Structure 1
Amino acid sequence: MNKYTVYIALSILLIAVLPLSAQEVENLEKHPGYINLESIRIPKNAGKITDITLGPALLKIASMFRDSEDETGELIGKNLSGLLSIRVKSFEVRDSKGMKELEPMIARIQEQLNKDKWEHVVRVKEEDAFTNISVRYIKDKAVGFLLMTWDPKGEATFINVVGGIRLEDLAAMGLGLQGSAMDSLRKALKENY
C-alpha cells in the first residue's frame, strides 16, 4: 500500500468519525461522569501548561486498535475502548496569588462531586500539597474519574475521564502520579477490585 492510499484512507476515516454534532457535545456534558474543567481558569502568569481534550471522535479512532496485532496498539485500544472523553489541564502555579485564584474553582468542583455522590477513592495531603481522586459510579459501574492535584509551590493538575472506565487500566496508565498518590491509588484499587 503506498503512502497516498494510506493518506486517503485516514482522511476518509477522519471525515467519517470526527465531526461532533451539537447533540453529541450536549450528551457528553450531561453524562454523569463529566466534570466541566473549563471552569478552571489557567492563571495568566502560569508557567508550563498542558491542556488536552480527547473527545468521542478521537477516542473512537484510538479504540479501533484494540484488535490490532501490534501489542502497543492493542493495549491503547483496549484501555480507551468505551471512553467518551479525556480532559487534562495541568499548569505551573508560580505564586500564591495563582493558587488563591484556584481555591474557589476547586471548591466548586468539590461541591459538585459531593452533590453528585462521587466516591472519593484517594485523598493525600503532604504538607500543603493535595491529591484527590474521585470516581462516579452508576449501578456499580465506573462512569467518571476525576483527579485533582495541586501544590501551592508548583503545579496544579486536573484530569476528567468520562465513559465506561476500567479503573485497573487507569492505574496501569499511571496518569502522571508519583509517590504516595500513586501508592494510594494502587492500594485503593487492590482493596476494592
Structure 2
Amino acid sequence: MKDLSKYFAVIFFALLSLTFSQSKDFTKEPGYVDFGELSDFDFEESVTEVYLEENLLKMVAKLSKESEPEVADLIGGLKMIRVNAFEISDKNEAKILAKIEDINKKLENKDWLRIIRVKSKSETVYVYVKNGSDDKFHGLVVLAFDKPGEAAFVNIVGDINLEAIGKLNTKFNIPALGKIDSSSVDSKNNKGDKK
C-alpha cells in the first residue's frame, strides 16, 4: 500500500509539473508583439530578461490579494509580462535605436494607439496600447532608450486598466511604466506625443 501511495504521489507531481510547464501560445493574443531577434544585444555585461506567464501571474495575484488588492486585480487579468533590457554601449547603440524605430513603425501600422512619445538626444520612449473594450486594453508595449544607461523592450498582454498600471511598476519595477498614468490616454484616438 505504501508503494502505491508513492506511485500516486509521483504521478500527481509529474502531472502538476506538466500543467505549469506547458507554455501557452501568446502570439495569437491581440496584445502580443513580436520584438524579433533581441539576442544581438545581450552580449553586454548588464542584461535583464523577465518572462512571466499567466499561471505565475495568477499565483502572484493570489499572494498579493490582501496586501495590495488593486495590484492583485490588475495582475490577475494579465496573461504575460515580457521584459528585455540591455546596457547601451557604443557597439549596440545604433542597432538598438534601429530596432526601436522598426517596432514603432510596425505598431503604428497595426492599429496600436501611441499614448506616450518622448524623443531627445539621450532618450527615446514610446508607449503603445492595444484597444480593447470599455476602459481596458488588450496589451501594452514600452520601447525605451535612455543613454547612458539601458534600453528596454516591454510587452504586457491581457486586460489592462491604465489607471492601475503605475502600481504594476512598483510591484515588478518595469522600465518606463512610471511615465504612464490615466491622463496619458485622454481618448482612444489621441497620439500621445510628448517632446
- TM-score of the superposition, structure 1-length normalised? 0.74
Distance 1:130 1:13 in 2: 46
Distance 1:42 1:123, change over 3 A: same
Structure 2 CA distance, aligned partners of 1:42 and 1:80? 31
CA distance in 1, matches of 2:162, 2:43: 35
The within-5 A match list for 1:10-159 is 15=17, 17-20=19-22, 24-25=24-25, 28-65=26-63, 68=65, 70-72=66-68, 74-95=69-90, 97-140=91-134, 141-159=136-154
More helix by share: 1
Aligned to 1:4: none
In the alignment, the residues of structure 1 paired with residue 121 and residue 104 of structure 2 have an alpha-carbon distance, to the nearest angstrom, of 20
Cα 1:139–1:172 change in 2 (3 A) is same
Give the % identical residues.
25
Cα distance in 1 for partners of 2:182, 2:55 equals 33
Normalised to the residue count of structure 2, the TM-score between the two structures is 0.74
Which of these residues, 155, 160, 180, is aligned with residue 155 of structure 2? Answer: 160
RMSD: 2.9
Structure 1, unpaired ranges of 5+: 1-7
Partner of 2:4: none
Structure 2 unaligned blocks of 5 or more: 1-8, 189-195
Provide the rounded CA distance (Å) in 1 between the counterparts of 2:166 and 2:40: 27
Bigger Cα Rg? 2
SS of the residue aligned with 1:61?
helix
Pick from 153, 167, 175 the counterpart of residue 172 of structure 1: 167
Contact 2:142 2:176 in 1 (8 A): no
State how far apart, in whole Å, the 2-side matches of 1:101 and 1:79 are. Answer: 34
Aligned residues: 172
Say whether the 8 Å CA contact 2:116–2:184 is kept in structure 1: no
CA offset at residue 173 of structure 1? 2.9
